[in-house]
Amino acid sequence: MCNNLVMEYVKFWILVFCTFTTISHTSAESDEDDDYLTFPPGFRLGAGGAAYQIEGAWNVSGKGVSVWDTFTHTYPQNIKDGSNGDVACDSYHKYKEDVRLVKEIGLKYYRFSLSWTRILPTGYPNVVSKDGLRYYNDLIDELHRNGIEPVVTLYHWDLPQVLEDQGGWTNDEVVNWFGDYARIVFTEFGPKVKIFTTINEPTSFCREGYGHLNRAPNKDLDPCGTYLCGHNALKAHARAYHIYDREFRPTQNGKIGIVFACPGQIAKNPGDEATVDTYYQFTCGWFAHPIYSEEGDYPQIMKTRVAKNSFDEGYFRSRLPVFSPKWIEYIRGTADYFGLNHYTSVLVEEAPKERETILDTGIHASVDSSWPDTATSWLKIVPSGFGGILRKIRDEYNNPNVFVLENGCSDNRTTLSDTQRIEYFYSYLKEMITAIKRDGCNVTMYSIWSLLDNFEWNDGYAEGFGIVQVDFKDPNRTRTPKLSVDRWKEVVRTRKLQPLNPTIEDASELFGHQGRKRSAKC
């Protein structure tokens, strides 16, 4: 009885707290509290990159061909500067330099992805490449030697071409293929890696790779292909999770999760929270709900809308595949943390089918003309959206432990004085720290995207997200820290954010950089 009363009392205050923080705090912009500039104790900072974007050595030592090798070689016209990842940053040869940079900045971990075809050249476990294992073991050992924790993603979009030729993510055999690959990864690297991420941003490669012709594998399979890809990606993730959980966790004791692209969404018509929620469910919720919600399965709004549209269009069943109760249970709860990639936000409003931005949503997404541009067309600077998405995740899934695994902005690679990036990090991180300290969001890791300028998918080398510039014309791929590296060193040392003085003309004076080009923008 007494326990019940205590529980009710606790529940009441949790409710008051959540309501208060949701209603009265939408963004950090009005808060001048210095405390929101300081990282909480134990909070970890790192930086990242992905295999195809940085490694190069695309056909070295028997490495197999991936869908991105094929895509860039076959359709160079689909890449802004006609380039590819054949050499990229040459991190395959220069990984020690990358590790040294991470160490010099003072970051605690480095997120990188494994190339499936470097480890399994045939795509299957019948051939395991000694050189592939050697390369990743060397990288992991070098990180440990320098006191940096490896955070390892198994899949960052570079599916073996041979598996793609059999349907890739639209063939449910991919669940076995991915499981076999994962088992080899855990066996080989699990003793030295304590944080694994199964799949990077399934929404991105399912929509852009299988929905329409844009990215590898360049298949135009909508209105069904995107959902089919997503369905199998969820199953494959869950398979890898259970393999880890059953066979490796007892001895290796690590954490395993998945990472989603979750943009922020803001109502175009103030108060239209239903549209905001629907857009969220079709982006982040599509993959997060089956794993993190109490009931599992796809978000209800997605099931309802896709089913209705499908029947209206004359299909006999929903274009969104249906999970059996067994699969719902198998997928639910398969993550030890919530991996979040966040860059920007959109304004959302209801719209007729012809204007909808994402299939089946009935929503048009746009941007506010006051939001600052970056070098990347889709990336506007909207710090408040970051706080918004963190609070949404807190509210939707009972405040899971969030690892921010990507956040950053691009420049056009003409300057080292990346003042806009410094401002971006300052404003986004202030939102994040506010969401943690004021709103109780359980975020414990933050990763800069990216350490190096690298092969930026369809944008090739025309844009760079790196805090370190890479000279892609130089065979040596010389790395040169941008101004934001100086800033990050300071932030890491003091564990406190510092704004870029907006009146400053030459940022190099402020941060001690010599001989760098002047520019107010990236």
Using CB under 6 A, pick the residue from 55, 297, 396, 406 that binds ligand GAL.
406
Whether residue 223 is preceded by a cis peptide bond, meaning omega within 30 degrees of 0, is yes
Side-chain-side CA neighbours of residue 189 (13 Å): 30
Considering beta carbons, is residue 243 or 468 the nearer one to ligand GAL? 468
Q: Which residue do the tokens 């000694």 mark?
A: 130
Q: Which residue in the list 55, 149, 188, 201 is annotated as catalytic?
A: 201
Using CB under 6 A, pick the residue from 143, 456, 487, 500 that binds ligand GAL.
456
Q: How far is the CB of 195 from ligand GAL (least distance, A)?
A: 17
Radius of gyration of the chain (CA): 22
User: Binding segment for ligand GAL among 183-191, 196-204, 241-249, 308-316 (CB under 6 A)?
Assistant: 196-204
Considering beta carbons, is residue 183 or 237 the nearer one to ligand GAL? 237
The answer to whether 50 contacts ligand GAL (rule: CB under 6 A) is yes
The answer to whether 112 contacts ligand GAL (rule: CB under 6 A) is no
The yes-or-no answer on residue 505 being catalytic is: no
Residues 287 and 228: their CA atoms lie apart, in Å, by: 13
Q: Would you give the distance in Å from CA 411 to the centre of its chain?
A: 19
Q: How far is the CB of 158 from ligand GAL (least distance, A)?
A: 11
CA 478-480-462 angle, 5° bins: 80
Considering beta carbons, is residue 241 or 449 the nearer one to ligand GAL? 449
Q: How far is the CB of 340 from ligand GAL (least distance, A)?
A: 11
Give residue 108's identity as a one-letter amino acid code: K
Considering beta carbons, is residue 304 or 377 the nearer one to ligand GAL? 377
What contacts 382, CB < 8 A, 6 or more positions away? 264, 266, 344, 345, 368, 371
Residues 413 and 375: their CA atoms lie apart, in Å, by: 9
Q: Which residue in the list 55, 142, 164, 406 is annotated as catalytic?
A: 406
Contact 341, 262 (CB under 8 A): yes
Considering beta carbons, is residue 224 or 358 the nearer one to ligand GAL? 358
Q: List the x/- string, 6-45, binding to ligand GAL by CB under 6 A.
A: ----------------------------------------
The answer to whether 204 contacts ligand GAL (rule: CB under 6 A) is yes
What letter would DSSP give residue 394? H
User: Binding segment for ligand GAL among 129-137, 147-155, 199-207, 436-444 (CB under 6 A)?
Assistant: 199-207
Residues 426 and 323: their CA atoms lie apart, in Å, by: 42
CA 117-123-125 angle, 5° bins: 110
The answer to whether 386 contacts ligand GAL (rule: CB under 6 A) is no
Q: List the x/- string, 318-347, binding to ligand GAL by CB under 6 A.
A: -----------------------x------
Considering beta carbons, is residue 252 or 341 the nearer one to ligand GAL? 341
What letter would DSSP give residue 314? T
Per DSSP, which regions of 298-355 are E strands? 338-341, 345-350
The answer to whether 261 contacts ligand GAL (rule: CB under 6 A) is yes
Give residue 505's identity as a one-letter amino acid code: E
User: Binding segment for ligand GAL among 169-177, 198-206, 277-285, 512-520 (CB under 6 A)?
Assistant: 198-206
Q: For ligand GAL, how many residues bind (rule: CB under 6 A)?
A: 12
3-state secondary structure 130-197: HHHHHHHHHHHHHHHHCCCEEEEEEECCCCEHHHHCCCHHHCCCHHHHHHHHHHHHHHHHHHHCCEEE
Q: How far is the CB of 457 from ligand GAL (least distance, A)?
A: 6
Residues 365 and 46: their CA atoms lie apart, in Å, by: 31
Q: How far is the CB of 16 from ligand GAL (least distance, A)?
A: 37
Contact 243, 183 (CB under 8 A): yes
Q: How far is the CB of 351 from ligand GAL (least distance, A)?
A: 24
Considering beta carbons, is residue 135 or 457 the nearer one to ligand GAL? 457
Whether residue 324 is preceded by a cis peptide bond, meaning omega within 30 degrees of 0, is no
Using CB under 6 A, pick the residue from 465, 472, 488, 511 that binds ligand GAL.
465
Among 327, 338, 240, smallest CA distance to 284 is for: 338
The yes-or-no answer on residue 456 being catalytic is: no
Here the tokens at position 443 are 């975020």
Considering beta carbons, is residue 162 or 234 the nearer one to ligand GAL? 234
Using CB under 6 A, pick the residue from 66, 200, 334, 434 that binds ligand GAL.
200
Residues taking part in catalysis:
201, 406
| Chain residues in the site for ligand GAL (CB under 6 A) | 50, 53, 200-201, 204, 261, 341, 406, 449, 456-457, 465
